[in-house]
Structure 1
Amino acid sequence: MNDFDLIVIGGGPGGYVAAIRAAQLGFKTALVEKAELGGVCLNWGCIPTKALLRGADIANTLKHAAHFGFEIDTPKLDLAKLVGHSRSTAKRLSQGIDYLMSKNAVTVIRGKAKVTAPFTLCVSTDKGEQSYRADHIILATGAHARDLPNIKVDGKLIWGAREAMTPTALPERLLVIGAGAIGVEFASLYNDLGSEVTLVEAANQIVPVEDSDVSAQLAKGFRERGIRIHTDTTVNTVEHHANSVTAELKTANGNEKITVDRVILAVGISGNIQDLGLEELHADIDRGFIKTDPFSKTNIVGLYAIGDVAGPPWLAHKASHEAVICVERIAGMANTKPLRKDRVPGCTYCRPQIASVGMTEAKAKAAGRNIRVGRFNLNANGKALAIDESVGFVKTIFDAESGELLGAHMIGAEVTEQIQGFCIAQQLEATEHELANAIFAHPTLSESMHESVLDSLGIAIHQ
């Protein structure tokens, strides 16, 4: 049996970060991964989708080039080149994780792991099975996309994220089921590339976790782009044809049938808890995800779970942060604090982008907070007008008594790069008065953040 101080199962943004931090702290560390290092995020999620969405941004820029005085003939999309850029980006970064493992002296074990007893696991490889022992085992196995009872990914007509990221041809008509972050990103991408897109969501708004004002702004913009949106809608049935699908939509106004070339299923995820030995160990599971304490400990001694497999929010940066906290707690580091899930930012890379952190206005009111709300529209921001990206706004929510920043919600150009300012403000417990006194550079999009704060105090300058 091979002994380690700590073994991580899963090489995604939670797992590889946990392995690196453990090695830095002097643990003899191993990482088990059955596929590519970097996990779904790096190989089939966060990174490759952003590479594709960059292509969509270019397509939109070319479409509106005349606004800036450039006359361009009808651009022609080479879909294979765009997909190739996406795949090569993912491959390059995965190879970078290989380098980091070597640099930090982390032993990488290629295979499928199963925890057979406390402190013990078995790894199945092409060459057979091998047992390993560690005082601490961290599960970072991620999650997988869910099917619907009546609709399942088949890889041809019904696509999951992998098929949607590697198309060989652009569907003329596309149905996207599910309008969370993944669904609206694919809807935006394919619309910009030229597909006729219909977006269906069972909830009463698209991007259901976002502030209702943000959702309304995105829905308005999507409809202006020609994206058909159905909320409060489910898909009853899908009928497969040779190269198309007819879907029956159940809407508030009755049933409607539409025929499309392809369907993308984006209806949520389930934790990768199968075949890990968790049932035999009697691990606590809640709705398909592993239950943990605030420091990622499970009910099994020496066993921890981080990232998507441990439940929401299902975000790569949450997994990485959780990884560091978990390992530092194992190491007995003083002042290690649990993750504040209410301070994990969310980013959606559709056009326009969405970024948020903390409470929505509705949740703040439901919690009984006395609030002050500030808002500033990008159509009054000089930089936004200069770059012709003036659709969107910044909305800030403060506690009226303490001045605490309860939430920030942004929709517009590059807001995913700006939200960190509000995250830092929350971490440092900055009040609205302190943020109002901060100096924001001019001309920048981020000035809208400042104006939103000023508006909450009733002293906005530019609106």
Structure 2
Amino acid sequence: MSDQYDVIVLGSGPGGYVAAIRCAQLGLKTAIVERENLGGICLNWGCIPTKALLRSAEIKHYMDHAASYGLKVAGKIEADLEAVVKRSRGVAKQLNQGVTHLMKKNKIAVHMGEGTLTGPTSLTVKGEKGEEKLTAKHIIVATGARARDLPFAPADGKRIWTYRTAMTPPEMPGKLLVIGSGAIGIEFASFYNDMGAEVTVVEMLERIVPVEDADVSTFLEKSLTKQGMTIMTGAGVEDLKATASGVKAKIKAKDGKVSEQDFSHCIVAIGIVPNTENIGIEKLADMDRGFIQIDPYGRTRSKGLWAIGDCTPGPWLAHKASHEGVTAAEAIAQELGNKDVHPHPLDRNNIPGCTYCHPQVASVGMTEAKAKEAGYQVKVGNFPFIGNGKAIALGEAEGFIKTVFDAKTGELLGAHMIGAEVTELIQGYVVGKQLETTEAELMQTVFPHPTLSEMMHESVLSAYSKALHI
């Protein structure tokens, strides 16, 4: 006899465990299936532990520049990489235990093992209890994704790393090659640069952080170069070989010239591969390059089968997965007769992106170029950190805030930031976009002084030639 549930969630990352909690809150008998660690990649090997690493790098950065704040530090500042990693793993462990508690609190059954779909509403789990057969009225697939390997040089965990090894490095790199300049690549480049490694970043596209606004990319490249990194855009790694003592790379530069360079280690950050092989999904859902195709609520083409998070089309971000999890849970509850829930489809234009390098990068909505491509006449505001009193007092006068408006209606189309704490500031614009704000409401909003948030106000004023402090 198989165990019967209202909902089974396959995968316990930030999409899966949130979906399970919301299902349980709505009175649905819920189970979760996880093959490795509750909390998934984000909590155990991604978002959270990397931020712990970057916090250590940030503290070291400030200690290295203590004199700028009128402080004296006795002796040379040294990074204890083992201790830094230990702290990061401790943070991950604490949060893993928190998810375990949330499962118990919400009376969610946890089945540890490999889950394989046998139909849209049934699966088997091979794990600590042998083979279990589970059935449900609905199943949510939330199996996430993993790092993409270079086809000619797969990661070996010794010299060629993915993000996972980079979080628990066997040794400190002396000379590090980072392939790819998306959020993951740039965050690790920033971390190891602050830790003292000599870092080279190779990006095949014409600019780093290519999904961001072009002005942000330009500013970040100048900043990272000033910090000592070598940035190569429009370049590609044509060959990569690990040796006993390091890595040999053939790099084709923008001008077409190929050079062979030696590094101690390499981090490959060239995108992700969805974890959809061998889970029985192919015959049940439409697929595109391994990603499960869904409607705005998470439904696949098979009744009762849903999918969320990194195994579905992007953006591949933890907060997007969590939001999709809530949406799918509420849509399921509605289908099962709950008349008090009113799920809303996900608006991908309102999903913020954050990169926790130094300086930080954050954005939401359209870039200036994308807005113009979409046919908008735009008004663009730009305000520099150097014009903000709090930024100067913090010793963080590097960066700017850029806003993009529809010139005809005043609609906020996008916001783009680079500088200290912008990953916290961006939510103000996200709320504004969700509430369909125009420049008029933002101009009339009172921002507290002295704060970094005042720059958000000034950027809006700047778009309409009303900036006060520049």
TM-score between both structures, scaled by the size of structure 2 = 0.97
Match of 1:449 in 2: 456
- Deviations 1:276-320 (Å, cap 9, x if unpaired)? 1113x3421011200011111011121000000012010000000
SS of corresponding position for 1:278: coil
Mapped partners of 2:357, 2:242: distance in 1: 29
Q: Within 5 A, what are the aligned runs for 1:105-116? A: 105-116=107-118
The residue type paired with residue 55 of structure 2 is: R
- Count the aligned residue pairs: 462
SS of corresponding position for 1:198: strand
Match of 1:221 in 2: 223
Match of 1:69 in 2: 70
Mapped partners of 1:224, 1:362: distance in 2: 26
CA contact (8 A) 1:13 1:317 kept: yes
Mapped partners of 1:283, 1:440: distance in 2: 48
Match of 2:262 in 1: 259
Match of 1:44 in 2: 45
**Structure 2 residue aligned with 1:413, among 420, 436, 442?**
420
Which ranges of structure 1 fall in alignment gaps of 5 or more residues? none
CA contact (8 A) 2:333 2:341 kept: no
Mapped partners of 2:329, 2:341: distance in 1: 12
Distance 1:461-1:401 versus aligned 2 partners, 3 A rule: same
Match of 1:275 in 2: 278
The Cα of 1:334 is off from its aligned counterpart by 4.9
CA contact (8 A) 2:112 2:128 kept: no
Q: Within 5 A, what are the aligned runs for 1:104-183? A: 104-183=106-185
**Structure 1 residue aligned with 2:351, among 338, 344, 347?**
344
Match of 2:92 in 1: 90
Match of 1:188 in 2: 190
Mapped partners of 1:127, 1:32: distance in 2: 12
CA contact (8 A) 2:177 2:200 kept: yes
Mapped partners of 1:430, 1:300: distance in 2: 38
Mapped partners of 1:382, 1:131: distance in 2: 62
The residue type paired with residue 452 of structure 1 is: S
- Deviations 1:245-286 (Å, cap 9, x if unpaired)? 11000112211121000000000001100111113x342101
Match of 2:337 in 1: none
Match of 2:375 in 1: 368
Mapped partners of 1:76, 1:235: distance in 2: 32
Mapped partners of 1:69, 1:36: distance in 2: 45
Match of 2:36 in 1: 35
Which ranges of structure 2 fall in alignment gaps of 5 or more residues? 335-339
Match of 1:298 in 2: 300
CA contact (8 A) 2:246 2:262 kept: yes
Mapped partners of 2:417, 2:126: distance in 1: 46
Mapped partners of 2:446, 2:129: distance in 1: 61
TM-score between both structures, scaled by the size of structure 1 = 0.99
The residue type paired with residue 277 of structure 2 is: Q
Mapped partners of 2:179, 2:84: distance in 1: 24
Mapped partners of 1:387, 1:274: distance in 2: 49
The Cα of 1:148 is off from its aligned counterpart by 1.6
SS of corresponding position for 1:339: coil
Mapped partners of 2:253, 2:57: distance in 1: 30
Identity %: 54
Mapped partners of 2:32, 2:184: distance in 1: 28
- Deviations 1:436-461 (Å, cap 9, x if unpaired)? 11011111111111000000111000
CA contact (8 A) 1:180 1:208 kept: yes
The Cα of 1:375 is off from its aligned counterpart by 0.4
SS of corresponding position for 1:276: coil
The residue type paired with residue 231 of structure 1 is: T
The Cα of 1:118 is off from its aligned counterpart by 2.7
Residue 402 (1) aligns with residue 409 (2): yes
The Cα of 1:167 is off from its aligned counterpart by 1.5
**In terms of mean alpha carbon deviation, does 121-130 or 2-11 score higher?**
121-130
Mapped partners of 2:290, 2:401: distance in 1: 35
**Structure 1 residue aligned with 2:441, among 423, 434, 439?**
434
The Cα of 1:74 is off from its aligned counterpart by 0.8
CA contact (8 A) 2:24 2:30 kept: yes
CA contact (8 A) 1:79 1:168 kept: no
Q: Within 5 A, what are the aligned runs for 1:312-331? A: 312-331=314-333
Q: CA RMSD in A?
A: 0.9
- Deviations 1:99-131 (Å, cap 9, x if unpaired)? 000000000111111111231111111442110
CA contact (8 A) 1:188 1:350 kept: yes
CA contact (8 A) 2:379 2:406 kept: yes
Mapped partners of 1:118, 1:60: distance in 2: 51
Match of 2:431 in 1: 424
Match of 1:378 in 2: 385
The residue type paired with residue 326 of structure 1 is: A
- Deviations 1:53-108 (Å, cap 9, x if unpaired)? 01110111011101112121211221111100000000000000000000000001
Mapped partners of 1:265, 1:168: distance in 2: 16
